[in-house]
Structure 1
Amino acid sequence: MILSLASFTSFTSWPTGLAVLAYVVASAWPARTASENTHQDRPVWAALCLGWLAQALAILLDTVAFDGPTLHARFGFAPALSVTTWLVLAVYAIENRRLGLPSVRRALALLAAITVALAWLFPGQTHPQNVPPLAPLHWLTGFASYGLIGAALLHAALLRHAEKQLRAKPVSGQIPHPGSSGGQALGMPLLRLESLTLRFVGAGFVMLSLTLVLGALFAKPWRWDHKTIFSVLSWLVFAVLLIGRARFGWRGRQAVRWLVAGSALLLLAYVGSRFVLEVVLHRATSA
């Protein structure tokens, strides 16, 4: 169910506005150096931290319905996207000390601002209070799988950027970027960056597996709907990727293709199906 703008109070809307404003500032802030670890870039990191904290509060207010005598869950495709960008930004902040890229910061901040606004405009439907005990854990593992796979995609994009950086011929008179030789780019060895990408895939695969198992346990009866089919297909793609990596040493573009394919299926599983139901068909369904 899509709630109208008038249904939101100022208490629930101000964290969204603050998060969007902070992320827009972080996205528009000019890059002073190749790395954002200097005191000159403290304002941009302050804006990112402020936006991240405000987004956390906005997610809480958008997904927990406070109306009525008891609390109950309310979410849909847009909150799922907001949670994903929130988790990916946390990973980026941790990795930034070695992978500081202003262009990545700008893209992620802008994407986070968009998803926060979408979650405010389309908070989803309110779910019944008499849900099975395992349902909240099922939702949490599902959101975690989205965030971890999103982090894997971020590292895959950085990996492709690093590979292009290593293959690019230096311009005459240009000083090479530190760490751009010897199998190293972006301040991290290429193999280490590739390993991190696959670790996030493995962690996301574990969370997705738990999500499917928990969904099968509390779903009565089990339904082979679009969400289930796309989730299982994405699980199979990630399983093939991890097996191919372990048994056949899949690397580089081959691994990234499988990652992108599995991520697209996972996006269609919940976000895609809920977008069609909530926005296109205006139909209320269970999670």
Structure 2
Amino acid sequence: MQPLSLAVMAFLFYMGAASWQGLALARRVPPRDMLVRALALFGLLCHLPLAATLLARGDSLLPGLSTSAVLVGALAVLVLLLASLFKPVLNIATGLLPLAGLSLLLASGLPSPERATGMTPGIALHALSSALAFALLAIAAVQAVLLGIQNQALRHHHIRGVVQSLPPLTTMERILFEMIWAGMILLTLSIVSGFLFVDNMFAQHLAHKSILSLAAWVIFATLLFSHHRLGWRGMRAVRWTLGGCLVLLLAYFGSKFVLEIVLDRG
């Protein structure tokens, strides 16, 4: 099957799952967790062959923009589906699945400059830990948005609609910080493996990625420390989470976009 056809099918399955979960969140339809998981899984099964095809092409250094977008989207959906079996996080599908589907459609139309020279194990560790860290922290960003909506609604005494469908505020906050802790561990592994296995992390074409990744690490570390010692929570935690994810987005995709699309360098 053609890559574009698989991308369209994945997008439709993702949108179907996200739409149902969104309507359930708004209390317009009854919750159907199994239906949402099944639709998302079908989307992922269309998504994974595209990720495997792009990864099989290899790369002399790090995955390019199209490969990164497809890989991160697949990992984020996979992590969400697995986590939803143990934690009440399926509402995140409302925001995450459309983003995964849209990024897949966009990536299928981007040039893929990777060369079939293969990765070393160290580079593979760095690339995988980077993708997993970004995927997990992207899920945390959607969780932060839901937490922000819930926090604002409760502050203004709006307790109907979406707020009734979400877990208690304390549970939402606990899950958010669990995600950030897990993402920070992977982000630390990514940064350390980058310094160990990538030649000159501050070379011209990698400097922005390295500096922004370190900046994101500092933001999340500050948030976790302040939550533990100073009791940061609520909207402050939401803002710091979204700020850290924005910096990480620029680190992970910004330099790739400039190099491969704006400057047209493979």
Q: 4+ runs of 1 displaced by more than 6 Å?
A: none
1:57-80 CA-to-partner distances (Å, cap 9, x unmatched) read 221123322xxxxxx248322433
1:131-154 CA-to-partner distances (Å, cap 9, x unmatched) read 433010110000010011011112
Alignment partner for residue 31 of structure 2, among 37, 42, 52? 37
**Contact residue 62 and residue 119 of structure 1 kept, 8 A:** no
The CA deviation at 1:230 is 0.7
Whose radius of gyration is greater, 1 or 2?
Answer: 1
The CA deviation at 1:100 is 5.9
5+ residue gaps, structure 1, are 1-9, 66-71
Separation in structure 1 between the aligned mates of residue 199 and residue 158 of structure 2, nearest angstrom: 61
Q: 1:15 maps to what in 2?
A: 6
Alignment partner for residue 203 of structure 1, among 178, 182, 200? 182
Separation in structure 1 between the aligned mates of residue 225 and residue 3 of structure 2, nearest angstrom: 45
Alignment partner for residue 214 of structure 2, among 232, 252, 268? 232
Confirm whether residue 63 of structure 1 aligns to residue 51 of structure 2.
no
Alignment partner for residue 114 of structure 2, among 123, 126, 140? 126
Separation in structure 2 between the aligned mates of residue 148 and residue 85 of structure 1, nearest angstrom: 10
Separation in structure 2 between the aligned mates of residue 129 and residue 274 of structure 1, nearest angstrom: 19
Alignment partner for residue 149 of structure 2, among 132, 145, 161? 161
Alignment partner for residue 232 of structure 2, among 250, 270, 281? 250
The CA deviation at 1:122 is 2.0
The CA deviation at 1:214 is 0.6
5+ residue gaps, structure 2, are none
The CA deviation at 1:23 is 2.9
1:59-208 correspondence to structure 2 within 5 Å: 59-65=51-57, 72-73=58-59, 75-93=63-81, 94-95=83-84, 98=88, 101=91, 105-122=93-110, 124-127=112-115, 129=117, 131-169=119-157, 176=160, 186-208=165-187
The CA deviation at 1:49 is 2.3
The CA deviation at 1:155 is 1.3
* TM-score w.r.t. length of structure 1: 0.76
The CA deviation at 1:217 is 0.7
Q: 1:6 maps to what in 2?
A: none
Separation in structure 1 between the aligned mates of residue 48 and residue 244 of structure 2, nearest angstrom: 27
Alignment partner for residue 269 of structure 1, among 222, 235, 251? 251
For the structure 1 residues 212 and 127, does the alpha-carbon distance in structure 2 shift closer, same or farther, using more than 3 Å as the test?
farther
Aligned with 1:188: secondary structure? coil
1:218 aligned partner, one-letter code: F
Q: 2:191 maps to what in 1?
A: 212
For the structure 1 residues 19 and 87, does the alpha-carbon distance in structure 2 shift closer, same or farther, using more than 3 Å as the test?
same
What percent identity do the matched residue pairs reach?
Answer: 29
**Contact residue 148 and residue 204 of structure 1 kept, 8 A:** yes
The CA deviation at 1:106 is 4.8
For the structure 1 residues 177 and 117, does the alpha-carbon distance in structure 2 shift closer, same or farther, using more than 3 Å as the test?
closer
For the structure 1 residues 20 and 136, does the alpha-carbon distance in structure 2 shift closer, same or farther, using more than 3 Å as the test?
same
